Amino acid sequence: MPVIAANHQLMQYLTPEDKSTLERLCPPRKFKKGQAIYRYQDRADDLFIVHSGKVKITAPTSDGGERILSVLGPGDFFGESFLSGQERHTTDAVALTEPVIASPVCIDKILELTAKQPTIAIALARVLAQRVQELEAQLEATTSPVTARVGGALMAFAERFGLKVANKTNLKLDLTHEELAAFVGSTRVTVTNALGELRDLGLVVGTRGEYEIDLPALREYVETASFI
């Protein structure tokens, strides 16, 4: 399934001194919901570190649509194309919520930061390595049934962004059904039907972006359904 950065946000690896250096050298910027932080083929001059809000990373499809590759939140970073020598972005980055606050960090600042705080370079390397593992898992998930993929996406969202209340997890989903379809590689109608199936199974309660999720039961369903 697509990437939802779960438990390895960049900021968790940084010391208070690292964070202070970062804030001083790379002041944050604010983006409105729906505002492009960068577009496909823009110059890849900066990576961005998210302080608040959520960002969707998308790639254009051959039919003129978009495929949502990842949804990122506080502590995550994106736009790291230039670290691998690419001059242009191969994706779009768009603010998914209102507002998104993120710090742009250019290559010169990266070099300055890592020279002053070597632990930042180690943190970047750790997150990049874990993203490779996520992409491998994403490829494996493409053969799962759509309902399992939708359930897996909701599960990952709930683990990353949900609020645990008693034995359930409340989730405010910031994606429309159409965007969720672009996230799991399906169609809006199929995703709507899949959500209905998950409700019928008692794994998910709610609609219109407000859900109550039985995480242990949903996790068991997704793991079982993925091998059917």
Q: Which amino acid is at 214?
A: D
pLDDT tens, per residue, the chain with 228 residues: 444 444 346 677 677 877 777 778 788 999 999 999 999 999 998 889 898 999 999 998 888 888 998 899 988 889 888 777 788 999 999 999 999 999 998 878 778 778 877 877 787 777 777 767 766 666 666 668 999 999 999 999 999 999 999 889 999 999 999 999 999 989 999 999 999 999 999 999 998 889 999 999 999 999 888 655
Give pLDDT tens digits for 92-122: 999 999 999 999 988 787 787 788 778 777 8
> Residues 182, 67: contact at Cβ < 8 Å?
yes
Report strand pairing: 66-72 vs 3-4: parallel
Q: Taking every pair of C-alpha atoms in the chain, what is the biggest distance, in angstroms? A: 55
Please give the sequence-ordered ranges of beta strands (E in DSSP) within the chain, or none if there are none: 3-4, 29-31, 36-38, 46-52, 55-60, 66-72, 77-78, 92-95, 100-106, 163-165, 168-172, 204-207, 210-213
Partners of 95 in the β-ladder: 55
Single out the residue of 10, 30, 19, 12 nearest to residue 113, CA to CA.
19
